[in-house]
Structures are given as C-alpha cells and as structure tokens.
Structure 1
Amino acid sequence: MQNLTSEARIQIAQQAREELARRSYRDYVERVHFGSYTHFRHTELICQHLQPIADGEQRFIMIEMPPRHGKSMTVTETFPSYYIGRNPGKRVIATSYADSLARKFGRLNRQKIEQFGQQLFGVEISSENAASNNWSLEGHHGGMIATGIGGSITGEGADLLLIDDPFKNAEEANSPTIREKVWAEWESTLSTRLHKGGSVIIIMTRWHEDDLIGRLLQRSPHDWIRLRLPAIAEDEDDLLGRKLGEALCPELGFDEEWAEKKKIEVGSRTWAALFQQRPAPESGTIIKREWWKFYRQAPSHFHEMLQSWDCTFKDADSSDYVVGQVWGRIGADKYLLDQVRAKMNLPATLQAIRTMSAKWPLAILKLIEDKANGPAVIQMLSREIAGLVAVNPEGGKVVRAQAVSPEIEAGNIFLPDPSIAPWIHDFIEECSMFPNGKYDDQVDAMTQALARWHIVEPEKFVVAPFIGGIKRG
C-alpha cells in the first residue's frame, strides 16, 4: 500500500465506498445524496429494517413518524432505486395522496439509477420506458411505477409496494369518505398487486385512529413490523433506547424545548396524533371531550372532600407514574381540585401523600388502591396520616369508567379551567383516549374517587372551607 501512487489510493478508496454502497443501504443513502444526507438514530434504525427487503426477505413494515424528520427522503425517495439496483428483475409500485408527489418519488429514484446505476449495480434506465412515473431497466424486467391513490396500475404487479402518506392532511384523514376510499384502494387494488413473497412498506404521520395503519393493525393477517417513532419518547422499551421524555432528533432542532412549545401551539390531541403517533377519537370513546364542565373559581364549601391515589405497579426501587387527586363534592356535583402526577418510587410516593395531606387537611379520606405499592404505603403511613383506606376496585378499568361516565355526560363533573391548571389538557386527553391510550393512571384515580361517592349517601351539609390551590400535574 505504501508503494501505491496517490491516484491508486484514491481509486481503491473509491472502490471501497462503492462496495459499501452496494452492500449496505445505510451507506447507499449517504452516497447517492453527495454528502448532503446525515444519518440520525432513527434513520439508522429504518435502514436496518429495510436492508433485509433488498436482500430478498419478505417484510411488512409500518413506519410512523412526526413531520420533517426525513422519512420520505430516507425511504420513498431513495429505497426503490437501491432495491431495484440490487434486484433488477423486481418491480416497485409507490403511491401517495397526490399524483404529483408520487411522480416526484418516481423521478428522484430514476435520477439515482441514472447517476449511480451503472457504477454500483451495472444497470441503467431503459431508453424505451423512462417516464418519471413509469420507468424500467434496460435489458431487465425491473422498474418502478409511481401514482397517486386511485391512479391506474391496471395489469401491473409489485415485488415491493410502498405507500407514503395516503392522507394529505387532517381534513382528509377526518373524512369518513376519504378514509373509505383509501381502504378500498388497499383492499381492491394495491394489496392485490403484490407478487408472492413481495414486501410492503407504509410510511405515515398519523392523523386519525381509523386511518390505514389503524385498520391494518386490526384486520391484516400479516405480521407487521411497526416502527413507531414518537417525537418524544414515552415508552420504557423505546425502539431507540431513549429515556422517557427524550426527543427523537434534537440534531434537527426538534428537542425537548421545541416539543413543549409545539404541544402548546397545536394542542394535546394534535400533538398526540401527529407527533406522538397516538391518534384518538376526536370526541373520545367512553368519555367524550364535550362532556366536561370547567370552573375558574372553585366553590368555597363542600359537603365532602377526599384524596384518590393510583400508585405505581413497579417494585419499590423503580420509578413509574403515580397520581394523586383531590376531589370535592357538593350534592351531585364533584370538583377535581388538585392533582400531582409524576414519576415516583416508593419513598417519593410517601412524601407526595404527606405534602398533599398537609395542603388539603379537610380531605381526610385518602383512597389508595390495594395493589402494587398501595399496601406498603398504607402500612408505612397509617400511624402518621389519618384516613388511609385500602380500595379493592370492582370490575375492570373499562367497567369502572363506564360506571362513572353518565355523571360526566350529565354535567356533574367539573375540572379546573386550563387557564388555572394547564395540566388538565393531558388529563382530558388521557380520558378521551381511554382505554386505547398509552396511560390510564389519571383515569384510574378519577374513577376510584367517583365510585366511592356512588355508595355513600349524601349527608347533611358540612361546612368544609376551600383551602389549598391548584398544583401543576
């Protein structure tokens, strides 16, 4: 190597880069973008899952990501050219909500074959079939067709079917007519074009729980690989190994500070769907959004007050969400007065109960579910704090929520207005998504409190002056 000329060394290095680009899709993406493409953790993960398809393995992959995180550039604009270059006899069908966007995908992949096909794979675009939306390889059967949803692919087949954002925006996704149109296109056209052993890649930003991915998860017989990549990590088994609350791609400016501002800007429901890939029914399922009543000033007196605690289901040394709520009742009306919700281990949970009890001394009854850390909490605080009562909830979570939902629908449940309790947005979102949401700890604490008053007869009016305040959850 020492005796080689500079020109020879450059040539050897060039050959090594080309070999890497041939063998590895990860390296191919960088190569064909002339150094203007930078990999991040999530794009590395996507490439890792796409590589087996190019290597001949059948896969069904769903990629759910927030906007502007490079999903189309990493997949739809680039992967078909690599797949066809590696497999010149294979056919690709790519589709999107608009024919113009699909044509763009076809054109960008054709350009990559024109620029790198001969050099990396020994293939080139056919001189007879080279349209941006329908092109083939010279001397091979392989090629790509790109069309909008509902476009003509009569007589065409696919070894790789790629669907990139079948819905343009929230308005389309919220339209039952358009959702049915997309589903019908999948059932009657797209899925029927897949050759035996063919693969499917669906790339979406989620807008609606009944979108294409939502229906496929319920109805498809295939074993889907689901790459759900929320803007902010919320799973302990996050696909990228992120810590809870960690951003997906801070390198692009989408860090935790951006996330906090964006959530306020777009609202909790849009944030959960568009950025976290957790779409929920607009009005809610068991508990409808429009049922809630709000107060800016809580009543000065209550018949009765209580605390309701949902403690962690983890061991004593770990941290998980713990929720403590304070409720007040006047006749049939119930008011959520305060809430604490945080990641707590057992010692932190004990201190939170002490703090809440000092803040709300008239909320003497303290309901604690008799599961997980509940028994330990009661045992350790029973000689220190009065009114700790173990609760064994009857029925499942859904049954309990259904039991209290008539009170919410009737307008008997009041929440603090978001102007005095910004955390109430997350509370409402969790209730609306229940039982399909990621978390249900706030719902559990609420149903535990409201269920208690189902079995207690309204007593004579007792003056219980309102003290304390609203704590951010």
Structure 2
Amino acid sequence: MRCQGSIVRWSRRRWLGKSDALLMAALQYIHEPGYAAIMFRRTYKDLAMPGALMDRAHEWLDDTDAHWSEKDKTWTFPSGATLTFAYLQHENDKYNYQGAEFQFVAFDELTQFEESQYRYLFSRLRRLKGSNVPLRCYSASNPGGRGHAWVRQRILIEGQKKGREFIPSKLEDNPYLDTEDYEQSLAEMSQYEIQQLRHGDWDAVPDGEMFKRHWFKIVKEAPADVKMVRYWDLAATDKKKATDTTAYTAGVKMGMKDGQYFIMDMRRVQLSPLAVEQLIRQTAELDGVGVPVWMEQEPGSSGVNTIDHYRRKVLNGFAFYGDRPTGPKEERARPLASAAEAGNVFVVEGTWVNDFLDEIVGFPAGQYKDQTDVSAASLSILNEMKDMKHAVKPTIGGVKRR
C-alpha cells in the first residue's frame, strides 16, 4: 500500500509525483504473460484530464510496442499483459468488475472513493498458483476529501500493525517544483486546507457550522452506572441497491450521568428490511433488557404499523417505544450541540468514531444526517427519562416530543 505517494527520480529531467509512482508500479510486470493491472480515479473526467493518468501513460507508451484500445481504455503489451484505466463514479460501479482478475489494483486520490469500493476491489486480486507476480493494491492521496476519515483510520492509525505501509511526501521532497509560486497559490485556501496540502497533515480538518470536532472528548469507556438508551432511525435499504444519496439505518447507544452524556456505540448500515430487523434484535440482546430501545416513527399509518411490528414481533420482551419527534432537525440538534460545546459529550473509543465525527461536524449541510439525528434524539430521551411516566408512555402511536 502506498498512500500519499513516494517520490521517484526518473531520468534527468524531473522528479515524479505520487501518480507517476503508481503508474510505474503498474508497469513493473508487463513482461509477464497474463499480468493484468487496473488503475482507478473517481470519475472519467479525473482520469482523462491533461496530465492525469491516461495522458501520462500515452506520454510514456505511445512510442513503444504496446497497443492502446480507446474503446476499452486498455494498453496491451507484447507479452499479452494489460493495463486498464477505469473509474468508480457511483457506489455500485464496483460491481462492473465482478468476475474480473487483476494482480495490481491502484487508486489515485484514494480519499475521493468510498471505503466499500476500495474494499470490494481487493476481491479482484487473484493469480494462478505458482505465479511469480505478487498481488498488490497501491494508492496515492492527499489528505482531505470525502474519504479522509476512513483512509486516515486504515492507513495512518491501523497502518503498520496490519501490514499497510505509508510513505509521506512533502513539498520539500521535490526540488524541481517552484515552491514560492505554489505556496502563493495555497495562501488563497483555508487554514486547514493549507495544512493538508502544504504539510500533508492528516489531522487537519474543518470545523462544522453547528458542531466543532474538538468539542467531543474521546474516552476509553463510560462510567458503569450511566442511564442508557438505544435509539434507532430506520432506512432499510439493501447495500447492493444503495446509491450515493441513500440514507442509512443508524442506531446509537447513549448514556447519561450527572449532566454528562456518553456516546457509547453506533451502528450504521445499509441492509434489507429483514437484515435490519435481525441487527436490531441482536443489538438489543447485546445491550441487555435494561437498555430501553426507542425508534423514530415515520408519519402516517405506515409508521404506526412499523412500530407495532417491532413491538410485537422483533423486540418482544424488551422495553421498546416509538418516538414522534417534531420540529426541524437543526432545532432538535441544538441541545446536543449546546452540551457538546460545554464539554459534556464524550465519545467512547471505537472504529465508528471517525465516521461519526465527520458526519456531525458537517451537519446540517452534509450529505448524511442519520448519526446526528439519533444522537440528538437520544439526548432528549435521556433528559425526558427524568420523568419516567412521560418518557415511557406505552402507546402504539409512539410518544410525541417537541
């Protein structure tokens, strides 16, 4: 794995950047019959723009014996080896490669991709028994972008513990770049973008409109005697049929003690309705019967029927309540923002934390709001539990809250 690229000297003319290093790695085994490499950008425009991967490959290969297929966007070499250029603009584009086999897969600007796309392409890395060609997945990226959090977690945090190598490169590594002009251009950007692009700082992130990242304190565990709830917001969508804008089913477990709130666990999935029911039941069993389960109830008879179904069929034996929140999402999130700003919201360590923080600091302008919504609702429920008679009124239609 190569993320943020290595800088490689090529001839006497110039130094090559991270994208060039990916292309060189892809070409390393083109003398081997049957070798197949593929290189991805997020969109075709990214792939085809001047100076991008395909343009550089033409610069390097046009005067060689390799043959270019414009239709397939593939170079074929005298050995029969191939190098293909492709893009994954939509989540489900990854399935276009179902059944394909490659020995080299590369992602240029990895933070522009979804983690699910990246992980899926690992299943395409295969080779014949006895082959001398290694299976490789290389990536290059700057900090920032929609995938910043998962790339940082996978490469920088988990990194070497799981055999993933990170090779940083900075402006000072390239003596052939006009440093003064580049820094003048960067000066027009925000401070966090300067930290990301000039200094390669993966810890530099923007503050949100309603929530600031540093308000949330990370702790190893919550106190043993917190009062807890689990709150779900359904969006039952099969991940295989999901689009980039599909909502997630989200379920948070939050605890409260002495005016402080602990976000203890977050489940966030795109699954079929049956799989969601199974997950919610399993989660309730893991939480224990002492943790009441709440669920946002959609308007109308369908919402009433869903709550009734979960109460009788899915969560029979557990304390389960429907919730009918009113008012705009932003208004409902303000008590959570106020508590966080006061230093009273803690987040328990977990693999979900970065994804949660990325979403909540982007609220309300961000693409997704599921985790923020359930967290805000949980805080309100916990506050209402001070008056247990009001908070747990067992009606089929759910409890209406302002």
Q: What TM-score do the two structures reach when normalised by structure 2?
A: 0.49
From the CA coordinates, give the structure whose radius of gyration is larger. Answer: 1
Q: What TM-score do the two structures reach when normalised by structure 1?
A: 0.42
